[in-house]
Structure 1
Amino acid sequence: MRRSALSIGAAALVAALSVTASPAAPASAAPAAFTHPGVLVGRAQLDFVRSKVNAGAQPWKAAYDQMMASSLASLSRTPKPRAVVECGSYSNPNYGCTDERQDALAAYTLALAWYVTRDSRYATKAIQIMDAWSAVITDHTNSNAPLQTGWAGSVWPRAAEIIRYTYSSWPNVNRFATMLRTVYLPKVINGSNSNGNWELSMMEAAVGISVFLEDRTSYDKAIAKFRARVPAYIYIASDGALPKTTPGSGLDTRDKIVKYWQGQTTFVDGLTQETCRDFTHTGYGISAISHVAETTRIQGQDLYPEVSERLRQALGFQSKYQLGTAVPSWLCGGSLTLGLGPVTEVGFNALHNRMGIAMTNTQKLTEQQRPAGTNLLFTAWETLTHANNPG
C-alpha cells in the first residue's frame, strides 16, 4: 500500500490543486442505437439467470428463493404513490420517501420474477405499481430531494426496461416515460457538489432514464459527469499528493479538500471520499459506479476499463476492513464505521470474472455475503443478477 506524502513544496501544491478529474470525453458517449433491456441487466444476463434458476444451480437458486420470499415480490402489494414526495436529511421528514423507494424496488423485483417464471401475474403487478406512480407524482421536495430522486430514479428504469421489452403489453408506458422525463430527470441531470455518493447515484438515475427514453443528449451529459466524479471519489496514488476534484466543486485549497475527505490527510489506493464518514455511504458510491459501468457495457461503450483500477482498489480496500483487518492509526483516526452493504457483486463480477483481475478480499467478502439481498434503497438481488454472469 503506497502512501502519498503531503509535505510538498508550493509549486507542487499548486500543481496538485490545479488537477481536476476531467477525462477527455468522446464526442458522444451514447450508442447509435440503444440496447434494450439495457439498464444494469441485459437480455443475455437475464437469460443466464433464468437458465441457472430453472436448473436449480447455486448460488442463483438460493438468491432467487431469497428474492421471492421478500415482501417486494408480493402479488398483493398495494402501491403508495404521492403527488409530492418530501424527504429531508436522512429522510426526516419522510413523506413518501420509503414508500417510493420500496415501490420502485418492488417493480424491479416483480420484473425479475416475471422474466424467470414467465408468469404474467408478476409483470402485471409490476405495471400496476409503475402506473400508480406515473399517474400521481409531480415532484420531490426538501433537502434530500436530489438524492431521493436519484435512488428511486435508478430503479424505475431497470424495471421498466424489462417489462417494456420482454412483456406483451403496457398501455401506459408513455405516461411512465413522461414521468421519468419531467419529474425525475430534471432533478438529477445537473449533478451535485454534495458528498460524492449523491452525484454518483444521481448519474446512475440519469443514465438509466436516458436509456429508457433513448435520450442521447442526456446520456452524454450524465456520462460526462460520471467520468469526472469517479476520479474525485476514489483516490489512487497516481493522482498525486491530493485527491482529484470535480470542476466547479470550489475545493481549491488543501484544507478544503481534506475537510471534504472527512478530515483524512493520508491518501492511499482505494480510499474514497466517504471512507472516513462510514462504509454505508461509501457503499452507495461504489454501487452506483458499478451500476453505471455495467449499463455502459450493455450499451456498447464499456467504461469498466477506464474505472477498473479505481473500482478494484476501492472494493479491495473497503472489503479488507469490512472483513475485520485492524484499522491503522493513520486511517480515519484509527476507527471505521463499517456496514458496506450488498454492493460488491456487480463490480466483482465485471472485474474478476470478465476481466480476470485478482481480487482476494473482494472475492472473500462477496462470497461470504451471498446471497446478496437489498439495501432497500436502490440495490437489490445482485447475487441473482450478477454472480459469475458472463453477460
Structure 2
Amino acid sequence: MSRISRLVTATLATAALLLPVPAAAHPAPSPLAQPRSAAAFAHPGVLVSRPQLDLARAKALAGAQPWKSAYDAMRTSPFASLSWSARPRAIVECGSASVPNNGCSDERDDATAAYTQALLWYITKDAKHAQKAIAIMDAWSAVLRDHTNSNAPLQTGWAGATFARAAELIRHTYPSWPQVNRFATMLRTVYLPEVVNGRGCTNGNWELIMMDAATGIAVFLDDHASFDHAVAIWRARLPAYIYLTSDGALPRPPANCGSINTRSEIIGYWQGQSTFTDGLAQETCRDFGHTGWGLEAIAHVAETARIQGLDLYAEAQPRLTQALYFHARYELGTAVPASLCGGSVKKGLGPTTEVAFNAFHTRSGLDMPTTQRYTEAQRPAGEDHFLAWETLTHANNPS
C-alpha cells in the first residue's frame, strides 16, 4: 500500500487514530524480538522521563554545572526564540546529502525548535514556549503529506525522532493541545511507515536513526506492535554495526540484506577495512561523523526503552562501551595505526556520547576515563540533525 493510500485510510478511520497499529501491518518480527510487557507506556517517555527533566530543571535553575551552561546555550540559541516561524510544506524532497534540499533543513530545524521550546516550557513553566512548540507542530501537521527522493528514509528518521520527543513532552506536561490528534495522524501515516521497517542494506546509521524515530513515535502513539518491531530491528543491527572479536574473523552481515554475505562484500560494506578489532564500527573508515550518529541512535533507542522498562543497555554494553572508547581515543589524539583505515581517519564524532556515557558511567558505575574526557570536552552539547541539548537532559543524571 502506498503512503498516499495509507493516508486516505487513516483519514477515514479517525476514531482509531490513537489505537495501536495491528501487528499484521508489519512483517513478522525478527526471531530476536522479545516482546516487552503489555503494560501501558510511561509518559513522558521518549528519550527523557519526568524525573530526568525534574533533575535537569532543578540543577539549571540553581546555577549548577554543567546544567547551567547547557541551559544557557539552549535558551540563547535561535531555536529558543518566541518569534521562530515554522516553514512547513506538503512534500519534503531530499536527495543524497540533502541535494536537492526542498524543505529538508527547514523540517529538521523546525523539529529542533519544537523540542527546544518544549524543554523551555518545562524548565521555565512559561506557557508561551509550549504554545510556540504547538504552533510549529500544528503548522507541519496541517500540510505535510510525504517525503521523497533518495534520502527520504533518513530525513524522515531525523525529523521524526525529534518531533516525537517534542510532541511527547508537550502532550504529557501541558494541559491543552487541540490539534494533537492531527499531529498523531501525521506521525502514524507520514513518518512511521517510512521508518518502521528499516533499511537493511544501507549504511548502519540510517537504520539506527530510523529505529530512533520509530520507537519514539510508537511510544507517543501507544503502539506496542511498532515498538516491538523497531526493537527487533535494533537488536539485529547492533552486532552488524559494532564489531567484537567474539563475532569471529568477520563482522556479522546486516540482517534483511541478502547482497552482503561474502568476505569481500562484508569488507566492502565496512568501507574497505579488513582488520577488525573491538569497537570498530561499520562506518568508522567512512568518517567519525556518521559513526557518531549511529552510536547516538543506538543509545537513543536504549534510553527510550529503559524508560519503558526494557533494558537494552545491558545488551548494548559490551559493544557500545567498546565503540565509545575506540573512537574517543582517536578524537583525543591517539595515533592511528596503519591497520586502521589505511592509517588515516576522518574525525568529527561530535556531541554524540552524552546519553550513552550517562547510562553506563552515572547509572551503572562503569569507569570510562577516555569516554569521560571526550564527553566533558564536548559540553555543553548542542544540536545536530536529530539530537539536541543532551548535556542539559542527560549529564550526570541518574534518574
Say yes or no: TM over 0.5: yes
CA RMSD of aligned residues (A): 1.1
Percent of residue pairs identical:
65
> What does residue 9 of structure 1 align with?
none
In structure 2, stretches of 5+ residues that fail to align are 1-28
* Rounded Cα–Cα distance in structure 2 between residues aligned with 1:259 and 1:31: 41
How big is each residue's C-alpha offset from its partner over 1:102-124, in whole Å with a ceiling of 9 and x where there is no partner? 00000000000000000000000
CA distance in 1, matches of 2:246, 2:278: 9
Q: Does 1:264 align with 2:254?
A: no
Among 159, 183, 186, the residue aligned to 1:176:
183
Please tell me whether residue 390 in structure 1 is matched to residue 395 in structure 2: no
Contact 1:346 1:386 in 2 (8 A): yes
Quote the Cα distance in structure 2 between the aligned partners of 1:338 and 1:265.
20
SS in structure 2 of the partner of residue 25 of structure 1: coil
Whole-angstrom distance in 1 between the partners of 2:37 and 2:119 = 26
Give the TM-score, by structure 1 length: 0.93
1:58 maps onto 2:65 in alignment: yes
Specify the alignment match of 2:53 in structure 1.
Answer: 46
Structure 2 counterparts to residues 140-179 of structure 1, below 5 A = 140-179=147-186
3-state DSSP of counterpart to 1:284: helix
Partner residue of 1:127?
Answer: 134
Q: Does 1:32 align with 2:32?
A: no
State the AA in 2 paired with 1:125.
K
Contact 1:30–1:219 (CA under 8 A) maintained in structure 2: no
Cα pair distance change 1:227/1:57, threshold 3 Å: same
Q: 1:23 Cα deviation (Å)?
A: 8.5
Partner Cα distance (1:302, 1:374) in 2: 26
2:299 equivalent in structure 1: 290
Task: Determine whether 1:232 maps to 2:240.
Answer: yes
Give 1:70-89 correspondences, 5 Å limit: 70-89=77-96
Q: Deviations over 1:180-232 (max 9, x none)?
A: 00000000011102000000000110000000000111111100000000110
Task: Write the letter of the residue equivalent to 2:124.
Answer: T
Q: Matched residue of 1:329: which SS?
A: coil
What amino acid maps onto 1:109 in structure 2?
A: T
Is 1:330 matched with 2:339?
Answer: yes
CA contact (8 A) 2:56 2:67 kept: yes
Distance 1:365 1:182 in 2: 39
Q: Give the count of matched residue pairs.
A: 369
1:262, 1:274 within 8 Å by CA — same for their partners in 2? Answer: yes
CA distance in 1, matches of 2:229, 2:31: 13
Q: 1:96 to 1:23 in 2, by over 3 A?
A: closer
In the superposition, the TM-score normalised over structure 2's length comes to: 0.91
SS at 1:36's partner residue?
A: coil
Structure 1 stretches of 4+ moved >6 Å:
none
* Distance in 1 between residues matched to 2:376 and 2:256, nearest whole Å: 40
Residue in structure 1 matching 2:380, options 371, 381, 389: 371
Distance 1:23 1:367 in 2: 38
**Per-residue deviation at 1:252?**
1.4
